[in-house]
Homo-oligomer: A and B are copies of this chain.
């Protein structure tokens, strides 16, 4: 416990320290400061309004949980602790808080990054990276402290699971809301700005440009942070729950120790990344790699002492670490423009949008195979080392590098914004080049982090499934009973419906945005010539409204369906639902993320001069493919992460009630 508290505190203290350092850095250029301020305001407005909706949802669920616990108590079925509603609230609060702070750091870091790039690349790189790491450390710090303190003081897993449900709820809203926001703005800005009016990306004349920049922050920083926070907390909870049942209170702290190691490792990695050697990508790679080595070595030592020389738990953790490396390589293979798959998509663009589209679909569908096999293999091997507990530990190993992954993911929107600010303020020359180099790395790391988030969510879902099985004592599913099969069908179908709802929300949002941007170009005189300023706020408002409206259906579906199935068809049907959902959502999320990124990179490949370059029919087709891919990779794919886990936390939460039915 001492380790957990000191690691968690260390994480939070360093995060605060890093944040303060960024805030202290000067922004002398007034135009940079002004644009950054507009982005910041837009992001704040969205987050405040989003949190309002979320608060409403949270309060309703809190009251429902409160009501449930009291009425069960009255009926003398004291299986549902009355503290659950409060731990749920705490989880939601911590998750929202780390997203909020993280985004605030990011929107301050962007202008400092632009400013720093005027002098040298290294300083700009460090600001972006440290800004990202601050978010990562907040996530890990709050996650670790929240789960372990709750566990330590309550010794009641029901309460700890409540915390997990809270984090999953916020993650759902952050991912879905952020995803819809960012893509409605992005597609709207591109379709009118780039295609119809013919102005470059990030041009300040485009009314939707600020909304687009805001979107990067709410989607990739706040959304991603909440996503990983949830996987981080849920794997920890699942591991604690299983460990507690198997080995008793003390030894159960093992996963908490591993995650503490992960926090220290990320701080050490920062030292290795202080200086950009050769390329920013290499530097990041070295940092992550050294963190991995640190964890691999010290967790062996830890296991040795904690389990008196029995290293099987260590091997389970190690398998998780190996799985990340493999997944990262696979993502790179399927999404890098240097590899055959993306080249194939670019080639197919020559015969038009239809063949481009089919090639991208085929790529994404194919790309599901190896990651699924890797996760299955990890699961089977980890099981050999420690049963269900081994599987949960592999997930812990996988997520031990989470703070660093959040860091390099949040790095992306910071440098992207920094580069956008440079474009809008008319900065050219070396500064611009430096920022562009930093930004190009952001695109690669973003794809890898997306793969990480999907893998982490799948592992968390499997861990939650294992914990649910352990907790309900199901042991075996009676498949002769069609309720299990029904559960599996409904679970699988839920993933499809979820996708449909999100695609529709983005489509509607983009449509409204296109109309507004068109209107402004028509009605505001002098806008096209750069003599008048567009009304940025209106576009921000549209994205915000669409995103908040789009939250409702997914939110209601993902909470109500498991409850309905669980209470009407029983605990085994609910197990079927979890299994059916994760078995479909995991490959579906991979497919969407990889297809989307491949279309994006195929477009960039053509823009770099291949197959005729910009302005050709191939390029046009690739742009259309990229537009389709945008919501695939940034809205729908990432949101599927959450649905896998929110179903699991709900199942686990109602497990004590459902076993009594």
Contact = CB atoms under 8 A, between A and B. Distances in A.
A143 interface: no
Contacts of A373: 490, 493
A235 interface: no
Nearest to A354: B627
Given A354-B624, A476-B479, A496 B631 contact: no
A179 interface: no
A489 B371 CA distance: 11
A357 B357 contact: yes
Nearest to A621: B353
Contact of A584 (B469, B477, B492): B492
Given A358-B503, A368-B497, 5 more contacts: A365-B499, A366-B504, A373-B493, A379-B486, A583-B583
Interface stretch (A7-15, A76-84, A505-513, A535-543): A505-513
A455 interface: no
A99 to B, nearest CB: 27
Nearest to A362: B503
B511 A391 contact: no
A489 B329 CA distance: 21
B480 A478 contact: no
A475 interface: yes
B492 A575 contact: no
Interface in A488-531: 488-493, 496-497, 499-501, 503-504, 506-507, 510-511, 514
A359 B507 contact: yes
Given A365-B496, A369-B496, A511 B353 contact: no
A383 B500 contact: no
A380 B387 CA distance: 33
Nearest to A388: B480
B368 A493 contact: yes
A628 interface: yes
Contacts of A277: none
Contacts of A267: none
In this complex, which of A470, A491, A493 has the most chain B Cβ atoms within 10 angstroms of its Cβ?
A493
A652 interface: no
Given A366-B497, A477-B476, A358 B490 contact: no
A322 interface: no
A5 interface: no
Interface of A: 187, 191, 348, 351-355, 357-359, 361-366, 368-369, 372-373, 375-376, 379-380, 383, 387-388, 391, 462, 465-466, 469-470, 474-483, 485-486, 488-493, 496-497, 499-501, 503-504, 506-507, 510-511, 514, 575, 579-580, 583-584, 586-587, 591, 624, 627-628, 631
A369 B477 contact: no
Nearest to A579: B488
A354 B628 contact: yes
Given A355-B510, A580-B583, A361 B503 contact: yes
A579 B462 contact: no
A395 B162 CA distance: 42
Contacts of A499: 361-362, 365
B485 A474 contact: no
A511 B351 contact: yes
B351 A353 contact: no
A388 to B, nearest CB: 6
B479 A575 contact: yes
Enumerate the 8 nearest inter-chain pairs by beta-carbon distance, A residue then B residue, closest first: A476-B476, A365-B500, A354-B627, A366-B500, A362-B503, A492-B583, A372-B493, A376-B486
A578 to B, nearest CB: 10
A336 to B, nearest CB: 19
A631 B586 CA distance: 24
Contacts of A357: 357, 624, 628
A507 B355 contact: yes
Contacts of A375: 489
Nearest to A580: B583
A333 to B, nearest CB: 15
A447 to B, nearest CB: 19
In this complex, which of A358, A361, A479 has the most chain B Cβ atoms within 10 angstroms of its Cβ?
A479
A518 to B, nearest CB: 11
A482 B372 contact: no
Nearest to A195: B352
20 contacts: A187-B354, A191-B352, A353-B624, A362-B499, A362-B500, A364-B500, A366-B500, A366-B501, A369-B496, A369-B497, A372-B489, A380-B482, A469-B479, A475-B476, A476-B476, A476-B480, A477-B477, A488-B580, A492-B583, A579-B579
A482 B587 contact: no
Nearest to A515: B351
A222 to B, nearest CB: 24
Given A351-B511, A355-B511, A362-B500, A482 B379 contact: yes
Nearest to A382: B482
A489 B358 contact: no
In this complex, which of A372, A465, A482, A591 has the most chain B Cβ atoms within 10 angstroms of its Cβ?
A482
A466 B486 CA distance: 13
Contacts of A591: 496
A208 to B, nearest CB: 15
B489 A583 contact: yes
Nearest to A514: B351
A461 to B, nearest CB: 10
Nearest to A359: B507
A583 B380 CA distance: 22
A196 to B, nearest CB: 11
Contacts of A358: 503, 506-507, 628, 631
A476 B514 CA distance: 54
Nearest to A383: B482
